[in-house]
Structure 1
Amino acid sequence: MSDNAFDLTRRLFLDRVVQAAALAGMAQLAPWAAASAADPIGRDRVRLGVIGTGDRGRALIQNILKTRNCAVAAICDDYAPHLDKARALLPAATPAFTDHRAMLDAGGIDAVVIATPLHVHAIQTFDALDAGLHVWCEKAMARTIADCTAMVTRSQAAGRILQIGHQRLFNPTYLNALARARAGEIGTITQVRASWHRNRDWRRAVPPGSDLERKLNWRLYRESSAGLMTELATHQIQVANWFFGALPTRVMGSGSICFWKDGREVYDHVALIFDYPGGRKLVYTSLLNNARYGCEEQIMGHKGSIEPELGRIYAETPPRVPGLQQMRRDVAKGRRRTIPIGGATWFPELPVTTPGESLGWGEYDESMLQFEAFAEAVKTGTPAPGLLREAYHASVASLLGESAMDAGQPISWPSGLAFEKLEA
């Protein structure tokens, strides 16, 4: 693809994002879009220093390299194999550091990108803010609610941008889905079902004879991670908050080390219910030993359903054929299956298999777009409205979910704990 063709693709992509954000009052739901539309391709690149060059950090570097208003100006990692892999993605002259404080002291950057283990997000954010830099940080925000709160208040006191990596906020399919839900197409939303299922142990190989187990496998230990809740669930809690337009009132759940009995401390299987005002619920499950249903959300209203991860919207189906009629049709077509018989008026409660309607725009890169929006925020000194609020509430909810599972009893949303209180 030529440079001109790629530029056109990006511009069309941005146009579609802004169009989706404009539907059904989306200026309030995704207010960052207006800022992105003002100057989507900035003339001057914002210089980013990337802290953490593991798998996720390198993926972010590759996304940054696709943008037209960001540049990777420095990289940092205290694990040499990761740093060497990141060097291979960048010009040889790109400065590389093994201590993030040395990178901050060296200057030459406008902002940092933090893609390190969860438990060091807060201190690295504080160090960058103290150095006068803006911060883009991976989700979840931090290991504790206190640190999440401190990250918000410190960024506000410093007058610097703090943006958290919730890329669904930039995904045109999700924006279109939210616009159509807010327009009433699926009726009153009463339940969101979400899951993120994988079939791998999350364990990384440790060099023989080294003491790097907890460093490389930080996701498996409580001191550095809440496991499935902070590594995966925050994305989908944010989606539920978004579609409900509210915060959870309480959460209950059960977690276990059910399959990977390898010395890990975090749960490999979780099931939770988040209550929302009006009796609405987010039902969330995540496990690490079966990937059949993968990552999905089901937004369920009385007129229809939306599955944004699959890019589909479905209307509720008309009355189904009574069971005996269905059986006669199956016999006529040579189909064989066991069905219960409850009389001629019995309706089989089977999953809906209608194809639904596409929500559109399957070819895009929302991870790239979030950095372009971050760069524009850095240039103007104005945070994109709504992003930090969404991230803060999702991180807090994920940590409350961990607490509820540990306690074995419901945990209520803490009184007075909301982003708007921090802004006051």
Structure 2
Amino acid sequence: MRNDAFDLSRRSFLDRVLMATAGAGVAAAAPWAAQAAGRDPLAGPRVRIGVIGTGDRGRTLIRNILKTRNCTVAAVCDNFALNLEKGRALVGANTPAFADHRAMLDAGGLDAVVIATPLDLHARQTLDVFGAGLHVWCEKAMARTIKDCSAMVKASQDRGKVLQIGHQRMFHPTYLNALRRAKAGEIGPITQIRASWHRNTSWRRPIPEGSTDRKINWRLYRESSAGLMTELATHQLQIGNWFLEDIPTRVIGSGSICFWKDGREVYDQVALIYEYSGGRKLVYTSLLNNARYGCEEQIQGSKGTIEPELGRIYQEVPPKVLALQRMQEDVKRGHKRVVPIGGATWFPELPVTTPGESLGWGEYDETMLQFEGFGEAVRAGKPLPGLLAQAYAASVASLLGEQAMDRGEAMTWPTDLVKL
């Protein structure tokens, strides 16, 4: 893409964000997007970012940072030489590269750090970065335990540093437009959200020379991951909390190693129900041996349904009147009409297949925008409002769901969390 074409695409993207966050109530529900889009990324020096973790995800983040107009990658770090080499290839040989993140911090020349390492390393590395006086952008989920999530939040408050977690859907214009329309009452009161993330993959990666199974396949082991809950569910738990404008009161669930019996420790199939005030629910499922339904959220109200992952909004279709019911109503009114012999007395309640309406879809680069927002937060020395509270609640919800499945009992929302 040419620079001028990219600039046009970016302006259209920002315009869409501003449009989506306009209107009563929406700016209050997504203040970060309006604030990120409303600032000029060229108004100041570029924020110098060091990246810890240059594996597949880390390199994707680097590519997005390089698209921004207010950030630059000033250093890269990975303790696996092959990944470090791949990361350095994206930023150039003149960019300092380190095998130890503490050496990168000691070298100086940074304003902030991006953390894209295995989950169990997030908390320790975040605290190290805060200790060096720098700001942090960290991949989701936040940390391996609720205690560590809380420690990260508390440290950001005590140090006065930005802690931003990578929930990119909070910057996506389609989701923001979906929120706007839900806020406007187009689907009525939301009483249930169904969310799923289904894949057909073992999630097990080949082990390159010089590495180990637990280092490469860390998502499969309890010491470093909660599997489906921390690697996938946090995305959609955040969406549920966001649209319901609440946090769960409790969660029940069941998990199992049902298909991939290959020595993994984390579940390959989970099913949970998160309960919210007023009897509202989020029903979540995830599995690793069938991709038919993929990744989706169905936000259900009395007047309609929003499926933001598909970019569609649907209105409820009036139910069919059965032949016997219609005849009964005719008798009451004294009306006469032909009643077909063998007419349907029951209709199977199959999924409604109306086409719905588009929420607006396009080549939006929400990951790039969240980094521009992070850059502006670092410049100001203040976090984008509301972001951390959303991420913290989503991570806690994912880990609480793991506990509910492990213990086989309902888990209530913790009362000792850090206030945001």
Give the TM-score of the pair, scaled to structure 2: 0.93
Matched with 1:113 is: 114
Aligned-partner Cα distance in 1 for 2:282–2:218: 28
> Is this contact kept in 1: 2:119–2:142, CA < 8 A?
yes
Instruction: For 1:319, give the aligned amino acid.
Output: P
Equivalent residue, structure 1, for 2:222? 222
CA spacing shift, 1:22–1:342, aligned 2, 3 Å: farther
Give the Cα separation in 2 of the matches to 1:58 and 1:390: 25
How far off is 1:322 after superposition? 4.5
Partner residue, 2:399: 399
Letter in 1 for 2:419: L
- The one-character-per-residue Cα deviations of 1:67-86 (angstroms, maximum 9, x if unpaired) are 11111110000001111111
How do residues 20-99 of structure 1 correspond to structure 2 at under 5 angstroms? 20-43=20-43, 44-99=45-100
**Does the aligned pair in 2 maintain the 1:323–1:348 contact within 8 Å?**
no
Residue 280 of structure 2: aligned partner: 280
Q: 1:422: how far off? A: 2.4
Deviations 1:288-339 (A, max 9, x none): 1111110000000010000000000000012337589xxxxxxxxxxxxxxx
| Matches for 1:13-412 after TM superposition, within 5 Å | 13-43=13-43, 44-207=45-208, 212-320=212-320, 322=322, 344-412=344-412
Deviation at 1:343, TM superposition (A): 6.3
CA contact (8 A) 1:51 1:116 kept: yes
Find the aligned partners of 1:107 and 1:187 in 2 and give their Cα distance.
53
Helix, strand or coil: the match of 2:197? strand
Letter in 2 for 1:198: R
3-state SS of 2:94 partner: coil
Question: Which whole-Å CA distance do the structure 2 matches of 1:2 and 1:236 have between them?
Answer: 34
Question: Which letter does structure 2 place at the counterpart of 1:99?
Answer: D
Structure 2 residue matching 1:318: 3-state secondary structure = coil
Moved over 6 A (4+): none
Deviations 1:189-229 (A, max 9, x none): 11000000111111111246x66111111100000000000
**Aligned residue for 2:419?**
422
Q: Which amino acid aligns with 2:352?
A: V
The residue type equivalent to 2:48 in the other structure is R
Q: Secondary structure at 2:67's aligned position in 1? A: coil
Distance in 2 between residues matched to 1:207 and 1:174, nearest whole Å:
38
CA distance in structure 2 between the partners assigned to 1:131 and 1:403 by the alignment: 34
Equivalent pair of 2:21/2:30 in contact (CA under 8 Å): yes
* Aligned residues of 1:50 and 1:112 also touching (Cα < 8 A): yes
Q: Is the 8 A contact 1:323 1:347 kept in 2?
A: no
Please report the TM-score for the alignment, with normalisation by the length of structure 1. Answer: 0.92
Which letter does structure 1 place at the counterpart of 2:292? R
- CA displacement at 1:375 relative to structure 2: 0.2
Give the superposition deviation at 1:7.
Answer: 1.2
Whole-angstrom distance in 2 between the partners of 1:2 and 1:168: 26
Quote how far apart the aligned CAs of 1:165 are: 0.3
Q: Distance in 1 between matches of 2:194 and 2:342?
A: 30
Q: Could you tell me whether the CA contact under 8 Å between 1:114 and 1:121 is conserved in 2?
A: yes
Equivalent pair of 2:37/2:373 in contact (CA under 8 Å):
no
Note the C-alpha offset of 1:243: 0.7
Q: Deviations over 1:55-111 (max 9, x none)?
A: 100110111111111111100000011111112112110110000000000011110
Q: Deviations over 1:235-255 (max 9, x none)?
A: 000000011111000000000
Give the letter for the 1:78 counterpart: N
What is the DSSP-based 3-state SS (H/G/I as helix, E as strand, rest coil) of the residue aligned with 2:57?
A: helix
* Counterpart for residue 336 of structure 1: none
Distance in 2 (alpha carbons) for counterparts of 1:138 and 1:177: 24
Helix, strand or coil for the counterpart of 1:377?
helix
Are the equivalent residues in 1 in contact too, given 2:17–2:34 (CA < 8 A)?
Answer: no
CA contact (8 A) 1:322 1:348 kept: no
Task: Verify the 8 A CA contact 1:188 1:301 in the aligned structure 2.
Answer: yes
Secondary structure of the corresponding residue to residue 74 of structure 1? strand
Residues matched between the structures, number = 403
- Any unmatched runs of 5+ in structure 2? 325-340
Q: Partners in 2 of 1:319 and 1:256 — Cα distance?
A: 38
Gaps of 5+ in 1: 325-340
CA distance in 2, matches of 1:416, 1:92: 47
Q: In the superposition, relative to structure 1, how do residues 375 and 414 fare at CA in structure 2: closer, same or farther (>3 Å)?
A: same
Whether the aligned pair in 2 keeps the contact of 1:141 and 1:395 (CA below 8 Å) is yes
Cα 1:281–1:343 shift into 2, 3 Å: farther
Report how far residue 398 of structure 1 moved: 0.3
CA distance 1:102–1:180, shift in 2 (3 Å): same
Question: Larger deviation: 80-89 or 401-410?
Answer: 80-89
1:117: Cα distance to partner? Answer: 0.2
* SS, match of residue 251 in structure 1: strand
Alpha-carbon spacing, 1:255–1:358, altered in 2? closer, same or farther (3 Å): same
Task: Give the alignment's Cα RMSD to 1 decimal.
Answer: 1.7
Instruction: Check conservation: 1:198, 1:294, Cα contact below 8 A.
Output: yes
Q: Provide the residue aligned with 1:337 in structure 2.
A: none
For residues 129-168 of structure 1, give each alpha carbon's deviation from its aligned partner in whole angstroms, at most 9, with x where no partner exists.
0000000000000000010001001011111100000001
The residue identity in structure 2 corresponding to 1:379 is R
